[in-house]
Amino acid sequence: MKIADLYVRVSTDEQADRGYSQRDQEERLRRYCEINSIIVHKVIFEDHSAKSFERPAWNKLLAEIKRTKGARNLILFTKWDRFSRNAGDAYMMIGVLRKLGIEPQAVEQPLDLSIPENKMMLAFYLAAPEVENDRRALNTFYGMRRAKKEGRWVSGAPLGYKNLVTETGKKYIAPHEPKAEIMRWVFEEIAKDNWPLEHIRKTANRKGLQCERMNFWRLVRNPVYCGKIVIPAHKDEEERIVDGQHEPLITESLFYDAQDALTGRKRQKAARPVSREELPLRTLIHCPNCHRMLTGSKSKGKRQYYYYYHCGCGVRFNALEANKIFEKQLALFCVRPEAMELYIAVITQIYRDRTQGGINDKKEILQDIEKYTEKITKARTLLLNDDIEAADFKAIKFECEDKILRLEAKMAGMKENPLEKLSIKALIEKVIYSLIGLDERYRLAGMEKKRQIVCSLFPGKLVFDGVSYRTPQPNLIAEAILLINKELAGNKKGKEAYYKHLSLVVARRGIEPLFEE
């Protein structure tokens, strides 16, 4: 007596829920069993692809067959493509079933596998659906690649965008608020390089982004946010970036600034959040001996805990004393209200002397672009003369084109910089007014705000020797204020002084503020 399990398969959940294929397959299989006097033992429904046998329902059936040998001797399906669309896997599974005493059979493509010649027909039945799958996948791949070359985003919208369809049926992505605004904030914070990436991610999640760590890392590396589409390398085609048809969330200049910060090209220091209010300068101070960052911890005394900044080389400072010295030294950078006009005038002049309207910067960028273009031309000449290998030329070309792309983005960012349209004096006034009572503001601020103040005033790492702090790279405005305060302190009679010599056009030497104990 023949006993059969009926195997009914479709490719997707949607076909299983909405289509008629499963019910139609079951009806045809039951009719076949009725005509041929075959007892139906069980009906198995599957909604997974046949590219492999890693299918939940099939694995469950196979385990049951091994556990209850002899309960059935046939597995019936309508066609061989319902069984498998991979010829190699299909032959292997047929061998496994035969060892278990099970004969697989397609009712609409019946084959007696005991006849050797029928194996040729079996090969055709199994290979045909596999070829069809491969052709469909290849057509889809090249279609998506063509769409990417035209600047279209062809997959699920990244965070900050949403998938939309025009009235004509054309799909595209568009900014999706408020997540789009959060992603703009993310790139701005990364470019500032004041906080670690993980801290920015957690803050963005609190704002409503909801993004896991690895996905967040991929997102901030994706040029889709500045209006670009990446076309991966394929065969003899190199990887390249094209302009997208979607609306960018950020400028190219901001995107590349963020990439430089992520790769460490402009790494300064990050205002890493700390858990202790008693250690606001933790990881912001260099050891005076080995120049590693000082960490911090507490030690238990007889009656209370004592906090210290310390290094693995043995350097150790009392945190309470170090914090007081820093607050006292910070007072040297406070703006005096009675000299506001002087601060604004001097710093405005310094800014103009250093920027010169951005003309020199643009000339330098154009010169750099020309230099890298010439480098590619020379490398091409060496390749034609067989002086370098093709792989070396590709490496040189890729590196130069990447730098040219960044320089062009920087140039575009300079053209569309909104600061050029605003009053520089007004911006400087805003900054100067915020520095009045800086020491008191720092003393009353929370932990995160304190570290932001330190990072903005001193882009370079602080060095503490137990007596005073110094930094090799002070902030431009902070350095100017310190010099002005020194001049004001020396001008006892309040006479007008000549401040042109305070210009910071020359290279900075680093600053060591002095004060009396």
Compute CA 20 distance to the chain's CA centroid, rounded to the nearest angstrom.
43
Of 469, 122, 484, give the one whose Cα is nearest residue 338. Answer: 484
Residue 485 burial (CB count, 10 A): 19
DSSP code string of 296-309: EEEEE-SSSEEEEE
Q: What is the pLDDT of residue 16?
A: 58
Angle in degrees, CA 494, 495, 497, rounded to 5: 115
Amino acid at 355: T
Amino acid at 152: R
Could you tell me where the DSSP H helices lie in 304-358?
A: 319-330, 340-355
What is residue 235's three-state secondary structure?
coil
Rg (CA), the chain: 35
The phi, psi pair for 114, rounded to 5°, reads: -75, -15
Q: How far apart are the first and last CA of the chain?
A: 105
Lookup: tokens for 245? 């048809």
Q: What is the pLDDT of residue 334?
A: 76
Q: In terms of pTM, does the model score above 0.75?
A: no
- Per-residue pLDDT of 397-430, as tens digits, reads 888 888 888 777 777 766 544 444 455 667 777 7
Of 337, 346, 336, 333, give the one whose Cα is nearest residue 498. Answer: 346
Of 378, 425, 430, give the one whose Cα is nearest residue 400. Answer: 378
Task: Answer for the pair 229, 148: CB distance below 8 angstroms, yes or no.
Answer: yes
Question: CA-CA distance, 227 to 409, in Å (whole number)?
Answer: 12
Compute CA 506 distance to the chain's CA centroid, rounded to the nearest angstrom.
37
Q: What is the pLDDT of residue 126?
A: 83
Amino acid at 153: W
Q: What is the pLDDT of residue 477?
A: 66
Residue 365 burial (CB count, 10 A): 17
Q: Specify the residue for token string 């002899």.
A: 70
Q: From residue 403, give the alpha-carbon distance in Å to each of 220, 372, 400, 414, 473.
A: 19, 8, 5, 17, 26
Helix, strand, coil content of the chain in percent (nearest 5): 50, 15, 35
Of 44, 62, 43, 45, give the one whose Cα is nearest residue 53. Answer: 62
What is residue 293's three-state secondary structure?
strand
* Residue 255 C-beta-side C-alpha neighbours within 13 Å: 21
Of 427, 436, 434, 428, give the one whose Cα is nearest residue 337. Answer: 436
Task: Answer for the pair 152, 244: CB distance below 8 angstroms, yes or no.
Answer: yes
Cβ neighbours of residue 267 under 8 Å, at least 6 residues apart?
A: 193, 261
Question: CA-CA distance, 503 to 351, in Å (whole number)?
Answer: 9
Question: CA-CA distance, 281 to 283, in Å (whole number)?
Answer: 6
Strand 3-9 versus strand 462-464 pairing type: unpaired
Question: CA-CA distance, 480 to 281, in Å (whole number)?
Answer: 23
Which residues in the chain come in under a pLDDT of 50?
269-270, 416-421, 492-517
Angle, to 10 degrees, between the axis of helix 252-263 and the axis of helix 390-415?
A: 120
Q: What is the pLDDT of residue 273?
A: 53
What is residue 394's three-state secondary structure?
helix
Q: What is the pLDDT of residue 182?
A: 92
